[in-house]
């Protein structure tokens, strides 16, 4: 979505002309869940003067009850009017940063924390960190009560089309809705698994791209429901088929252009690109907890379903963690393939940028590219090539994060402590739950 430089007066004028009756103030909690405070348009003056308060103690990982008052500071460049919910008048949206009562940025706000990490680019003269995301999702049918079922809406496969791809109309409506909101959609297609879809939109700077991901999820779920479907960004909703990823295409720019590109460098990549790549590889096991943040994420990160399992990189091979797509010039980028759409995008970009900057700061050198299928390599061959495994559970991923000060610093102590505590509770609950699989395997046998 192209940013619009709107003033307070511009927004007041639009509200009047478009008959906007409600304002939805959106932000994202530590678990990546979109939260919103909806107020009538009579509160517009209060909203635009940064005086809108909410109770932070009711939000996961924010603050205790005795410190509950928080302020919403709207980012005016995120203004948009939702094309639905017009029965009682239109609804305007603003994405907000969270501030403390004393006017300081709240350390537990993932969006504000990403801004803090982005400021670290200044020492290198970088002007923007760009992200092109590729989010995937599944469409399931709703039952007569409007609840999600496990019935897929089609039996299609990669790049299939109607009548096999019954989600085509829904996906087309999602694309039209996104375009009406200012998204530049680059591709829309059926993915490998039945019921699985992908819509790619144009890259943007990190903050705007993360805002776009959160808006995208909201639009996808809303439009799917209108088609009698439930859209889920759960990484692995069904056994035996591919899970959903959110590949992240990253590039760094300065005033002269894309700093990853060097016409005379090996593979036409610059020293900075290789150093950034080395940083991503070095910290991969630790940032996996953030990029793959739920128990279910690790059901996707297994061999045989196209998701990466090993810490390696390649120019063309799709089995490693990081791939370097063919495009060069302004489009030179690194593609991290492990991230899934359950990830909090603001926290994800904070740890990935800090990992890359650490590589640049310390002039790290990546290991040699692995241009063969890692899945068919033996354990000895992987060891010889210095290829590590990604963590196999959220429990192991949190342990790796706890041992990595650079990644903990990228989150800040407030977000790290609350995130890791929430994940420990999640893992404990999962570990104690007896699954249907266990009953099928053991109930009669033992």
Do residues 260 and 276 make contact, with C-beta atoms less than 8 angstroms apart? yes
Q: What is the CA radius of gyration of the chain?
A: 22
Scanning the structure block, which residue is given the tokens 């994420």? 297
Note if 134 is an active site residue.
Answer: yes
d(CA 433, CA 446): 19
Which secondary structure element, helix H or strand E, spans residue 175, and what is its range? helix 168-180
Cα distances from 70 to residues 24, 234, 350, in angstroms, run: 16, 30, 23
Catalytic residue among 75, 173, 335, 426: 335
Note if 191 is an active site residue.
Answer: yes
Instruction: Tell how far CA 178 is from the center of its chain.
Output: 17
Cα distances from 311 to residues 205, 361, 396, in angstroms, run: 26, 21, 15
DSSP letters for 340-383: -TTS-HHHHHHHHHHHHHHHHHTT--PPPP--S-GGGS-HHHHH
Do residues 218 and 34 make contact, with C-beta atoms less than 8 angstroms apart? yes
d(CA 353, CA 126): 12
Note if 186 is an active site residue.
Answer: no
Note if 337 is an active site residue.
Answer: yes
d(CA 201, CA 206): 14
Note if 111 is an active site residue.
Answer: no
The pLDDT value given to residue 157? 46
The pLDDT value given to residue 163? 46
Q: Write phi, then psi, for 141 (nearest 5 degrees).
A: -75, 150
Catalytic residue among 109, 160, 168, 198: 198
Note if 197 is an active site residue.
Answer: no
Structure tokens at 41: 């348009």
Note if 144 is an active site residue.
Answer: no
Catalytic residue among 109, 191, 262, 340: 191
Q: Write phi, then psi, for 29 (nearest 5 degrees).
A: -85, 180
CB atoms within 10 A of CB 107: 16
Catalytic residue among 171, 247, 300, 395: 247
Catalytic residue among 18, 55, 186, 403: 55
Instruction: Tell how far CA 134 is from the center of its chain.
Output: 9
Instruction: Tell how far CA 304 is from the center of its chain.
Output: 23
Number of helices (H), then strands (E), belonging to the chain: the values are 13, 18
Note if 328 is an active site residue.
Answer: no
pLDDT digit string (tens) for the chain, length 446 residues: 556 678 888 888 988 888 889 999 999 999 999 988 888 888 888 998 898 888 776 666 565 545 567 899 999 999 998 887 666 778 899 999 999 888 899 999 999 999 999 999 998 999 999 999 999 999 888 888 888 888 887 665 444 444 444 567 788 888 888 888 888 888 777 766 778 888 888 889 999 999 999 999 998 998 888 888 899 999 999 988 888 999 999 999 999 999 999 989 899 999 999 999 999 999 999 999 999 999 999 999 988 777 888 898 988 776 789 999 888 888 899 999 999 999 999 999 999 999 999 999 999 999 888 877 787 788 888 888 778 889 999 999 999 999 999 999 999 999 999 999 999 999 999 999 999 999 999 999 99
Q: Write phi, then psi, for 42 (nearest 5 degrees).
A: -60, -20
Which positions ≥6 away from 264 have C-beta within 8 Å? Answer: none
Catalytic residue among 97, 134, 168, 262: 134
Catalytic residue among 172, 316, 318, 431: 318
Note if 123 is an active site residue.
Answer: no
3-state class of 188 per DSSP?
A: strand
Which secondary structure element, helix H or strand E, spans residue 41, and what is its range? none
């Amino acid at each position: 979505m192209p940013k619009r430089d709107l003033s307070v007066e511009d927004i007041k004028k639009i509200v009047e002309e478009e008959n906007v009756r409600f304002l939805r103030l959106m932000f994202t909690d530590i678990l990546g869940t979109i939260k919103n405070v909806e107020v009538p348009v009579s509160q517009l003056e209060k909203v635009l003067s940064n005086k809108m308060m909410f109770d932070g103690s009711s939000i996961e990982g924010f603050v205790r009850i005795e410190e509950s008052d928080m302020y919403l500071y709207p980012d005016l460049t995120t203004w948009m009017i939702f094309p639905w919910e017009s029965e009682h008048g239109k609804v305007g949206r603003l994405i907000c940063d969270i501030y403390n009562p004393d006017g300081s940025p709240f350390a537990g706000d993932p969006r504000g924390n990403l801004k803090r990490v982005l400021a670290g680019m200044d020492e290198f003269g970088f002007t923007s960190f760009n992200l092109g995301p590729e989010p995937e999702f599944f469409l399931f049918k709703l039952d007569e009560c409007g609840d999600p079922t496990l019935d897929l809406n089609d039996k299609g496969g990669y790049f299939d089309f109607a009548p096999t791809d019954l989600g085509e109309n829904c996906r087309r409506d999602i694309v039209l809705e996104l375009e009406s909101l200012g998204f530049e959609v680059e591709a829309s297609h059926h993915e490998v698994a039945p019921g699985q879809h992908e819509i790619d939109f144009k890259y943007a700077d990190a903050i705007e791209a993360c805002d776009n991901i959160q808006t995208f999820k909201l639009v996808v779920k809303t439009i799917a429901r209108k088609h009698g479907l439930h859209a889920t960004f759960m990484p692995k909703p069904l056994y035996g088929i591919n899970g959903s990823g959110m590949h992240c295409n990253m590039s760094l720019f300065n005033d002269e252009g894309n700093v990853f590109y060097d016409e005379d460098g090996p593979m036409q990549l610059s020293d900075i690109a290789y150093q950034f790549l080395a940083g991503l590889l070095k910290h991969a096991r630790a940032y996996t907890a953030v990029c793959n943040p739920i128990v279910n994420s690790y059901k996707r990160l297994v061999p045989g379903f196209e998701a990466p399992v090993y810490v390696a990189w390649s120019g063309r091979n799709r089995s490693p963690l990081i791939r370097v797509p063919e495009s060069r010039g302004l489009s030179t980028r690194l593609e991290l393939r492990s991230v899934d759409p359950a990830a909090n995008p603001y926290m994800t970009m904070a740890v990935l940028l800090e990992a890359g900057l650490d590589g640049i700061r310390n002039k790290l050198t990546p290991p040699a590219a692995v241009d063969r299928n890692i899945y068919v390599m033996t354990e000895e061959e992987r060891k010889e090539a210095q290829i590590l495994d990604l963590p196999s559970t959220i429990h192991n991923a949190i342990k790796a994060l706890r041992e990595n000060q650079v990644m903990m610093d990228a989150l800040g102590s407030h977000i790290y402590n609350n995130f890791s505590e929430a994940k420990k509770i999640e893992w404990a609950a999962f570990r104690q739950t007896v699954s249907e699989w266990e009953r099928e395997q053991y109930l009669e046998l033992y």
